[in-house]
Amino acid sequence: MSDRQAMFAETPLGRRKRRTERVAKYFFGFMAMAMVVPLLLIVGYVVVKGWPCLSWEFLTTNPRGGGIRGGIWPALVGTIYLVGLSLCVSAPIGVLAAVYLNEYAKDNWFTRIVNLAVVNLAGVPSIVHGLFGVGAFVYAMHFGKSIISASLTLAIMTLPVIIASTKEALAAVPMSFREACWNVGATRWQTIRRIVLPNSISGILTGVILQVSRAAGETAPVMLTGVTVYKAVSDNGFFLYTLNEQCMSLSMHLYYIATQASGAPPALPYAIAVVLLAVVLLVNATAITFRVVLRSRKKW
């Protein structure tokens, strides 16, 4: 080897670094696969087990025989009602609260207490939220066991996630953007409305996605506040319920069929689980697509 070639030859230290980098790459790749593969196996197992019951009639007809025959249309519509109404309540309140905490509130003891309360509220078990919903909405506000009570309970339960994710999204917008607006005479609200919110909308949607996923799958809070095991409905239309009455939901229907119903086909609980997963994935995919489009328009 000539002196020139020896000058650019890889040293033992460089080889060790390259081996370490390769080991780290494969290790993290293995950890990623360790999360994805079990998920795919679980979803595939549920789909295979529930396939005999899956059909268009199963999705669009009413249950019969106490829920062990027929379809799941009222439960599917009830889930959409609960998730949609809770989203309409929690998303605006959560985003506005996060805007205040991140853009207006001063860093003092009160703000720190509020932030701590938000973090702690996110860790409260769902059954406790359900008991709060019973006391606050069913009895204190006299809504009774209804869609309104169940949706408000879900909104309270998912509010901390939206606040936390929105705060992180707002904080990710560079301070120089705000300073540039202030230097040309824009008010704080104009800066938030024209610059901060448009550049953080993709992160805000992350909290909304998490809210939808959690709200659709909860059983304990809605069971206590407004969801029933079975409710006869008049037809197969979309407007099956009014907001002041109880409804069925996929999570409660799945719990009942899997644990209490007798004589149900073995594939029925799995089919209900597949539909619940499909609803969550469809909503999430829509929100993710919207988020990707908005993120692609960023200039930074």
66-75, 110-119, 181-190, 285-294: least confidently modelled range: 285-294
Distances (CA, A) of 198 to 5, 156, 295: 54, 26, 10
- State residue 9's pLDDT score: 66
What whole-number distance in Å separates Cα of residue 101 and Cα of residue 93? 12
Q: Helix 12-50 vs helix 268-296: angle between axes, to the nearest 10 degrees?
A: 130
The model's pLDDT over 194-209, given as tens digits with 9 standing for 90+, comes to: 888 888 887 888 778 7
The model's pLDDT over 238-259, given as tens digits with 9 standing for 90+, comes to: 788 888 999 989 988 888 888 8
* Four-point Cα dihedral 100, 104, 108, 113, nearest 10: 0
pTM (predicted TM-score): 0.84
pLDDT at 81 > cutoff 70: yes
What whole-number distance in Å separates Cα of residue 261 and Cα of residue 88? 34
Fold classification of 54-296 is MetI-like fold (1.10.3720)
Instruction: Over range 107-114, report the average pLDDT.
Output: 85
What whole-number distance in Å separates Cα of residue 253 and Cα of residue 81? 15
pLDDT at 300 > cutoff 80: no
Distances (CA, A) of 231 to 66, 74, 259: 10, 8, 18
Kindly state the tokens that stand for 290: 């919207």
Are 287 and 72 within 8 A, CB to CB? no
The model's pLDDT over 131-175, given as tens digits with 9 standing for 90+, comes to: 999 999 999 998 989 999 999 999 998 888 889 888 888 888 888
- State residue 149's pLDDT score: 93
- State residue 230's pLDDT score: 84
pLDDT band for position 6 (50/70/90)? low
Q: Over the chain, what is the mean pLDDT?
A: 85
pLDDT at 11 > cutoff 80: no
Sequence spans of domains, the chain? 3-52, 54-296
pLDDT at 185 > cutoff 80: yes
Which residue is listed with tokens 């005999």?
A: 52
Kindly state the tokens that stand for 169: 């999204």
